[in-house]
Structure 1
Amino acid sequence: MIAALVLLMTLLSAVGLLGSIAVGLFVLARIGLLIAKVAVLGLALMAVVAAFSWLLGGG
């Protein structure tokens, strides 16, 4: 009985650990995507500003 409980607890903690790792990786991936989107938007904005200043400056 006690051995079965210990086994159950071990399995539950292993599943919990795997679950928390999966959630952590998912959250990190979401944050990474958000940062990538912001970086791409920032680069695009900088390119547009550079193009405008180049055009206004007469090339």
Structure 2
Amino acid sequence: MSENIICLCKGISEEAIVKAIKEGATSIEAVKEKTEATTGPCKGSRCISKIEELIEKHK
């Protein structure tokens, strides 16, 4: 079973992001602090919309 990588620059999986959301990270900034997603070279241009969708789905 392969992981669904959401933040390609940092290699952060959907599972890690959902875990952070369920632990209370209900904003992009909070997910960033818990997972380092959006801190790579693209600064989130590739993954912010996916993370926002996950926040809405799992908060």
Q: TM-score, normalised by structure 2?
A: 0.24
Say which structure is richer in strand.
2
Q: TM-score, normalised by structure 1?
A: 0.24
**Higher relative contact order, chain-length normalized (CA < 8 Å, sep 6+):** 2
Say which structure is richer in helix.
1
**Max Rg structure:** 1
